[in-house]
Structure 1
Amino acid sequence: MVVHVAVQAAPFDVGVEAERLSALSPLTGGVGLFVGQVRGGQGLRAMTLEHYPGMTEATLHALAQEALARFDLTGCTVIHRVGRLEVGAGIVFVGAGAAHRGAALMATSFLIDRLKTGAPFWKREEYDDGRTIWVDARETDEEAARAWMNNPTA
């Protein structure tokens, strides 16, 4: 069982990361993936993500370790980008390998739901008209994270 966590400015390669997860163990029968990207619309030009170095990596690592144990994974990867990202850029890669697809997919969902509200990132949106807005977690994200804490199979 291998955990790979990175917080980085550089883009990630989805194919490379998926292949790495697939190759971790001969027991891997399924790999679940989620890739989040900067969504455009309403004049959004870019998003800047800031983090608390050291604390952010530790939080992501703890979530990955929890997913390993909870879903009996063969491995998992969490990569989160920081810095200024334009519309369409990848923000986050979450991948989970498991013996069966259900566990891999549930672990991926668990990880993205929990990191959306539990990891120390700060997001600022930049608009075409010059406005910048700090973004708070949405209530739907908070609800999704709470569901995992209250029900291990949410």
Structure 2
Amino acid sequence: MHVTHRPYQAETRPHGKRFPAGRHRRPGPRPRLGDRNYLSLGAGSSVTNAGYNTGIALEEGKKYDFSVWARAEAGSTLTVTVQNAGGTLATARQIAVRKGGWARYRATFTATRTSTAGRRTVASSAAAALDMVSLFPRDTYRSSRPWTAASPR
């Protein structure tokens, strides 16, 4: 597995002045201002996230919305799975990432089993960059859905 975090680097403006302290120039369009890191996956690699505490909680029959900001210079296919030690908790989803700049991609999972120890894995067929990877239950308090907000300024 190849995992690299790449922080933004402070750069000099075209007129020769540096950015003020604490402000950085980002390398291309980014999904959120202020986020300074993203994950770079090499071809054929993956990253797994266990969520909080013992793992990601899923309830059989409930829907979960997956969201990721991604970019791939040559395009890529992301395979997203949710599983625990006992096996698959939801059918895997494949997401085609278009070549070029940052874009948001989404998929929906329906849990096939109940577990409190789920793990989310994102595998990439080609080199890709990922940011703001999220798996969120569809049924939430007051139906809040942070991924439906308009693109950040």
Normalising by structure 1, we get a TM-score of: 0.30
TM-score by length of 2: 0.30
Report the structure, 1 or 2, having the larger strand content: 2
Return the index of the structure with the highest Cα Rg. Answer: 2
